[in-house]
Structure 1
Amino acid sequence: MTCPVCSKETVHRFRPFCSKRCADVDLGKWLRGDYALPSRDPEDSERAAEELSRNNPETH
C-alpha cells in the first residue's frame, strides 16, 4: 500500500500514510474542506447565498 499523499510505502504506525507529516497534510485538507462534497439541496444553496450576502459589504 502506498501513501495517498506522497505515494511512498506506508509505515504501520501512520497507516495509511508514510509519516506524521503526510497524516497532518491530509488532516489539513479535511479541515479546509478540500474533501467536501457539493450539496444539491436547494435550501443549502439559499443559505449559502444569504451568508455570502451578509459577509460581503459590497453587496449592501
Structure 2
Amino acid sequence: MRAVNRKIACRQCGKQAILDPSNPWRPFCSERCKTLDLGEWFGERYTIPAESQDDFNDAADLPPPGLPRHQ
C-alpha cells in the first residue's frame, strides 16, 4: 500500500503544497513563498503576542539577589 501525500494550502499564496519531508519548503509550495514569509518576519509584519513590560514590574518577577538579570 502506498502512502498518500497530504496536501495543504501554502501559507503564503494558498496553492496546494505537499506536507511531506520530500518537500524541502513545507509548509510552503516553493522556495519563493518560504522566502517571502521570512521577509514578513524580518520586516516585523508578523508578531507573537507577549505580555506587556508593565506586567513585569512586580518584585515577585525579579530573580533572587545575587543572580544575574537577563537584559
- Indicate the TM-score class for this superposition, using the shorter chain for normalisation: 0.5 to 0.7
Which structure has more strand as a fraction of its residues?
2
Stretches of structure 1 that go unaligned for 5 or more consecutive residues are 43-60
TM-score, length basis structure 2? 0.51
> Which of 1 and 2 has greater Rg?
2
Percent identity of paired positions between Structure 1 and Structure 2: 38
Query: What is the count of residue pairs matched by the alignment?
Result: 43
Stretches of structure 2 that go unaligned for 5 or more consecutive residues are 1-7, 55-71
Q: Distance in 2 between matches of 1:2 and 1:37?
A: 22
TM-score, length basis structure 1? 0.59
Runs of 4+ in 1 over 6 A off after TM superposition: none
Output the aligned Cα RMSD. Answer: 1.9
